């Protein structure tokens, strides 16, 4: 089995919806030659906290 065939077979076993996919917060800025994506680290920190941590009651 080739490596790509193996990877595809593993991905097909995953069960997720597009609602579960997160997008990194930030803005696109145009450099001299390429588009650059600048992450908003404060919003990213909050996204990580909201996604992976639970408040202690």
pLDDT at 34: 94
User: What is the number of structural domains in the chain?
Assistant: 1
Asked whether residue 13 is assigned to any structural domain, the reply reads no
Pairing of strands 35-39, 26-30: antiparallel
pLDDT at 1: 65
Asked whether residue 54 is assigned to any structural domain, the reply reads yes
Asked whether residue 10 is assigned to any structural domain, the reply reads no
SS3 track for the chain:
CCHHHHHHHHHHCCCCCHHHCCCCCEEEEECCCCEEEEECHHHHHHHHHHHHCCCCC
Per the structure, the complete domain to which residue 34 belongs is given by 18-57
pTM over 0.95: no
Tens-digit pLDDT profile for residues 1-57: 688 899 888 888 888 777 888 899 999 999 899 999 999 999 999 999 998 999 888
pLDDT at 16: 76
Asked whether residue 7 is assigned to any structural domain, the reply reads no
Phi and psi of 37, rounded to 5°? -105, 115
Asked whether residue 4 is assigned to any structural domain, the reply reads no
pLDDT at 18: 79
Asked whether residue 50 is assigned to any structural domain, the reply reads yes
């Amino acid at each position: 089995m080739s490596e790509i065939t193996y990877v595809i077979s593993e991905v097909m076993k995953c069960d997720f919806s597009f609602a579960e996919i997160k997008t990194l917060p930030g803005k696109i800025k145009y450099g001299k030659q390429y588009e650059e994506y600048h992450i908003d680290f404060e919003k990213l920190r909050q996204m990580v906290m909201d996604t992976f941590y639970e408040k202690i009651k």
